[in-house]
Amino acid sequence: MSAGATSASNSVSNTKKTTISATPLAESLVLLAVLTVVQRLVGFVRGVLFCRWLSPEQLGQWDLLFGFLMLAGPLVVLGVPGTFGRYVEYYNQRQQLRTFLKRTGIVSLVLATIGCISLVIWNREAAQMLFNETTSYNTIVAASITLAAVVGFNYLIELFIGMRQMRVVSVLQFVNSLIFAVVGLGLIQFWEATSMAVILSYGIACAVTFVLGGFFLLSKYRLLPSETEITTNREFWAKLAPFAAWMWVANLLSNLFLVVDRYMIVHFGGFSPEQAASEVANYHSSRVVPWLMASVSGLVIGVLLPHLSADWEAGRRREVGESSNLIVKLGSLVFTGGGVVILLAAPWLFAVVFNGKYDGGLAVLPWTVASCAWSSIGGLTLLYLYCAEKAKLVSLLYAVGLTFNICLNFLLLPRLGLEGAVLATAVSNGITFCVGLSLCKRLGMEVDSSTWMAVMLPMTLGFGLLIAAPIWIVCVWQAWVGHTILSNHEKHQILNGVAMLRKRYASGPSTASPGDAS
């Protein structure tokens, strides 16, 4: 019995030795709040000035280029960085993190190099796909160089999120946003007001923050203990490859889902290339503020996934399901409220801030806001699927949404123009959200009738402020004083979380133990 206790003690000691010093969940959420306020303020100002200083055609070209980078970034590395949130802690606890970093880093580097070279070789085909016309060789070269920087930056961000190093993620994200804003606006003002200036500035921002993140990673890598047992390449990739493959498919489908409406406007809207770019610019202007909600949702997912995965691995699967359900409800109330505020400020935003250049964007704003709110809340349902290692179902989910989006665009775009494209995307987002929640329920997630009420709430935004605002106010009041939306247990969970957060920061963040990840 004594020997067994000694063995257990040694095992625990080894586990602690290899555990990465993680940012606790409460602190992660505070850092996330600070990051959201400051970084999104920088991004908002940058987006507004891009809209004011670029012509509609150049703004539309930048939107198409940026959508391509977001699509190609995960695509060229076959989803390998997408596994970090799920498997960094797995290999860390088994003292195999060095091997994990080496193998995923080498594979990502090789794949990114192949992808960027291919883009340069087939530059005319890429230009035809992006703009429905051939463009200068320099634009595609700039896109390929920027793509390399984007891949490197995304690799480190995914890795640090998997390590739960939210301080580092916060700094890198902020520095990236700040450099992009300063360099981009500087190039537009003092060089040329074109999409080329914007894409070069984005590449510079990603390259600089990749170097900064690389220095931090190197310092952490040197502190890792020697590995006592190394898995073979075959065993390693047999574990990682299936999840990576489905993450790759999920990323491809989800990113296609995000950009397909813009490319359908270009190729199937019946517009000339210049007119299509202007319509995309109108769409872009209507998304500048609403898309902040989706970006916040993505950050929340990145923060929560490693912590919920840790609970899942510890056997607390019921708690993960309850937490996921509560997150969806709160997300619906918060993001719908954000949509109401956006609709309230819309006339001033487009007339004054955007200088009256994008009346087409103002016309489609209500359904753009509804679409972004649905997309933001729907993304939160993926937390449960990822914890359950059901990336295959995530791919199926986005395949359903993408199919509806394409079909509805074919039906509505020729008849309604830009409004048809926006409406098609909004409806597709709502359908995707409902299908995702149904899949989570089949896998054991706690989903009650009030959750389905929350699903329908963002739809009110599409009908305008006069309908959305009163309904949202009633729902918030009911959530606070009644039991229709939030149960007593859920309210107790929220109050406990707030109390723990206040208690922690009343005594200072330094009181946490280094390995605390709860």
Tens of each residue's pLDDT in the chain, 518 residues: 444 444 444 444 444 444 455 555 555 556 566 666 777 788 888 988 999 899 888 999 899 999 899 889 888 998 888 888 778 877 877 777 888 888 899 999 999 999 999 988 888 888 888 877 766 677 888 899 999 999 999 999 989 888 878 778 888 988 999 999 999 999 999 999 999 999 999 999 999 999 999 998 888 877 777 766 667 778 788 888 888 887 788 788 878 888 899 999 988 888 888 888 899 999 999 998 898 887 778 777 777 777 788 788 778 888 888 888 888 888 899 999 999 999 999 999 899 888 888 989 999 999 999 999 998 888 888 888 888 878 678 778 888 889 999 999 999 998 899 999 999 999 998 898 888 888 888 888 878 888 888 888 999 999 999 999 999 999 999 888 877 788 777 777 777 766 665 665 555 444 433 333 33
Q: How far, in Å, are 284, 403, 406, 450, 459 from residue 428 at the CA level?
A: 18, 9, 9, 22, 12
Q: In terms of DSSP H, where are the helices of 191-232?
A: 195-223
- Domain positions in the chain: 20-231, 252-507
- Find out whether 283 and 421 touch, Cβ atoms under 8 Å: yes
Closest CA to 217 of 143, 278, 162, 156: 156
- Contacts of residue 195, Cβ cutoff 8 Å, sequence gap at least 6: 54, 58, 59, 61, 62, 65, 139
Q: What global pTM score does this model have? A: 0.76
Residue 297: name the closest of 322, 250, 251, 330 by CA.
330
The angle formed by the CA atoms of residues 353, 356 and 362, to the nearest 5 degrees, is 90
